[in-house]
A = this chain, B = another copy of it.
Amino acid sequence: MSIQFDSINLGSSMVGPKHGLDPAEVQAAQAKAFDALEGFRASFDQGRYGFPALPSRSAVQRQILACAAAMKGTYDTVCVVGIGGSALGAWALDCGLRGPHPVQAAHSSANPRLVILDNVDPEFMQQALASMNPARTVVVPIAKSGSTAETMATFLVVDEWMKQALGAKKASARTIAVTSEGRGDLKAFATANGLTAFHIPENVGGRFSVLSPVGLVPAALAGLDVKAVCRGAASMTQQSWAADLSTNVALRSALYHYLILSLRKKTIQVAFPYSNRLWGMAFWFRQLWAESLGKANNRKGRTIFAGQTPVAALGATDQHSQVQLYMEGPNDKVFSFWATDRWNTPGAIPKAKANFESFDYLAGQSLGKLIDAERNATAAALTAANRPNCTYSLGRIDAAHLGAFIQMLEFQTAFMGELMDIDAFDQPGVEQGKVFTFGLMKRPGYEAYAEAYKAYEKKRSRN
């Protein structure tokens, strides 16, 4: 299991002193990195944050696998009802291990698909229901608070659809709730309806929860190798506590990203996987990075409007969509290539010549070689244009490496929060939109926000 981080193209010798880091700057900041490690370790030891321990909670993992084993064969679709951190981890794992949707193998009870209802678009919902058979579906509502409006609304629709078709008892037997243990209406609903429930540790937030039941229940039901994912992640946890920048990839990459953001003002990070299987992971990372680091105030209470905007780009595809901007637009980005050292299949290009110059040089080579060449060529071109870039390499794309990469990115984010002196684990900024929504939907107790919204509309009407 190997995750490497190549920072060479972040250096001033490669992209110039205006956009790259001087080795002396990196050297001078090393003490800060070790402080970050210590700071986060102390919080962990106090029990404030639980994600580092998730991969080694083998008892829970066994319960989840036993639950999936008991239901195996009775469903061809796992319908996840969740949004944000309650949806993206399952997608990242599914896409990573079985490929993106349009080309996934046909689903069956031997190969159940995931349908993730992570939006309240009524047309999307209608189509999703039409595509599923209630008698062959397991429903997994996921909400830590147990009161997320989108998730509750979607679950009400899906639950009714199940009950209409199967009756209340059978529907409940096919519904598995993932929520907080001691609180929230989803938990109360689960208890009242006799649902199987798995619990999210209180010290694990949504975007750090993929290796809790939030990600593992859907993954296990879909037949993914949950054990290997956790094994890879556990090994990375160990690696990430080491006070050694040469082996601690999460700490080293956090340091580089911190410096390139704070000293060189690269306010955008392009997560640039060269693999369709890593596309879901890029969207999972987008939440992790945006929601953790986008903070108005630092831990001293000073207003700093911190953060780095994550952008997901897919290589080689987006070379034909975004790279023009990346090469010639504002030099406000750092690029993180995500690569695999080894392809599970080479993708041989036929040997026969077509007698056309644009085809024939490719004959007998492979798609794997081509996509690697595209990535290397793009890194070289960006470097020549003084655009700082770095590369994360996975030994290969399999369950253990995905688990390790997930855990590395979570540690990196936690360290980044320490380096930026912000709280990487809260999300106060989403509150305002939530309460306006509750007001507009007439939730009791939110009348004042309905009034505030009216005042906003009135102000708009004067323009």
Contacts and interface: CB of A to CB of B under 8 A. Distances in A.
22 contacts: A9-B460, A14-B463, A99-B127, A102-B116, A103-B128, A120-B347, A122-B346, A150-B316, A156-B363, A157-B367, A267-B330, A267-B332, A286-B321, A290-B324, A291-B325, A305-B330, A309-B309, A373-B437, A373-B440, A373-B441, A380-B456, A385-B429
Given A83-B317, A322-B291, A121 B328 contact: no
Contacts of A116: 102
Interface residues of A, number: 151
A64 to B, nearest CB: 23
Contacts of A160: 350, 352
Contacts of A311: 309, 311
A13 B463 CA distance: 8
A357 interface: yes
Contact of A156 (B118, B127, B277, B349): B349
A460 B319 contact: no
Contacts of A348: 157
A444 interface: yes
A296 interface: yes
A184 B345 CA distance: 31
Interface stretch (A239-247, A248-256, A268-276): A268-276
Nearest to A439: B377
A363 to B, nearest CB: 7
A126 to B, nearest CB: 5
Contact of A328 (B283, B296, B309, B324): B296
A153 B459 CA distance: 57
A169 interface: no
A354 interface: yes
Nearest to A161: B350
A275 B316 contact: no
Contacts of A88: 321
B319 A370 contact: no
A383 B457 CA distance: 11
B153 A321 contact: no
